[in-house]
Amino acid sequence: MKLKPIWIYLENGIFLEAKSFGSDGTRVGEIVFNTSMSGYEEIMSDPSYAGQFVVFTMPEIGIVGINKDDMESDRVHASGMIVRNFNEYYSNFRAEDSIDHLLIDNNAIGICDIDTRYLTTNIRDHGSKMMIASTEISNKEELKEILHSFPRIEEVNFIKEVSTKEPYIHKSGSWDGTQFKYHDAPKGAKKKVVVLDYGVKRNILNELCMAGLEVEVVPHDSDIEVLIQRYRKGEINALFLSNGPGDPMFYKEEVAKIKTLIEAKVPMFAICLGHQLLSIAHGYPTYKLLFGQHGGNHPVRYERNRVVEITAQNHNYNVPASICEIAEVTHKNLFDNTIEGVAYKNEPIFSVQHHPEASPGPHDSKYIFKEFAQKI
C-alpha cells in the first residue's frame, strides 16, 4: 500500500508532517502515550480512549494483525494511533485482518514514519495536549484555527457516546490461553452484579463472570431508584461502576446518581473512571495529571500486605490524597506515589484506579475481582 502524507498540529505550536494509514480525513483529539509492549488492538478498542490519539512507544505496530476475540468493545474508540513503524503485512495464526483495515472500518486515523520518542518526551515534559491530524489540510494556520474551534476533551460527554443503549446479560468468561478460545463463566452463579456502563471493557465483564457472578450491564442513564429497589428486594447484590473516557469532573449527572447509591448503602466496586466518580460523589474532586498513566508496566503496592503488583493503567485523572480522611488507601502507584485504590470507611464500597482485568497487561491484580465476589 502507498502511504499518504498527513499533517499534525499540537496546541503548543508543534507542526509535523508524517505518513498515514487507516482512514483519511481530519480528526481532533488529545494526545497521550502508552508504554505497553503489546495489545494495540485492545487499546484502540478500549472506550476509555475515546477522543484521544495514542502514541505507542513500542516501535513496531501491526505485526500480529487483529482478530475479533481481542476487541475490548464492538469498535475502535480512539481518534487515532501514532506509531514509529506501521507493518501492513501481519503474521500470526490468530490474525483475521490488519490494523489498517480495522481503522478504515471505524473511521480512525493511523499515523506512522514519525519520531514517537520525540512526541513521548514532549508529552512527558509538557503534558497531554489537544492536537489535530489531517490528510486533507497541510496549512499550519488553518489546522490551528480548526483545533481552537473544537471543544476540549474536558468539555465533551463521551459517556453518552460509548455506553450501551440497552441492558444486556454478559455470559462469557475470560480468555483460555491454552485453547485460545473463550470458555463459559462458572455455572450456577448465585450473586448478581449490575454494571453501570460508562464505557466498560469486555474483559472486565469476563473477569466478573469468572469470579462467579451473574453480570447484567445497563446504560449509564439508568433509573437509579429502580436499581436501589431491585437491590432491596434481593434481585441484585451489588453495583459495579465501570471505566470510561473523559474528565470525571464533567459528569455531574453520574455523580448525583452515585451519591444516591451511597446514601442507599448499596455495595459497590469501581475501576478507573468509576473510581474517580466515587471520589467526587464523596466530596473529593479529582485533579488532572501532567501526562497521565498509560501502559502495562506500572508498579502498584497493595498496602494491606505490601506486595508489589505490576499493573495495566489508563487514566489522566486521579483522586486526591485528602481522600484518606474517609477511606483506607489500599493501593499506591510506586512511580509517583499517587493513590491507586481505596476502601471507604463504614461503607460497602471500594475501588481501584488501575485495570486488574489486564487486557492488555499483566495478571497480578486479577484477585480483586474475587475479593469483590467474596464481599457480596
Catalytic amino acids?
272, 355, 357
What is the DSSP track for 98-128? -HHHHHHHTT-EEEESS-HHHHHHHHHHH--
Q: Which phi and psi angles does 137 have, rounded to 5°?
A: -120, 125
Q: Report whether 330 contacts 353 (CB < 8 A).
A: no
- Sorted by sequence, the CB contacts under 8 Å of residue 162 that are 6+ apart come out as 47, 50, 73, 77, 198, 199, 244, 245
In angstroms, the CA 227 to CA 239 distance is 9
Say if CB 291 and CB 57 are below 8 A apart. Answer: no
Alpha-carbon torsion (334, 280, 163, 173), positive or negative: positive
C-alpha cell of 78? 480512539
Beta bridge partners of 82: 55, 111
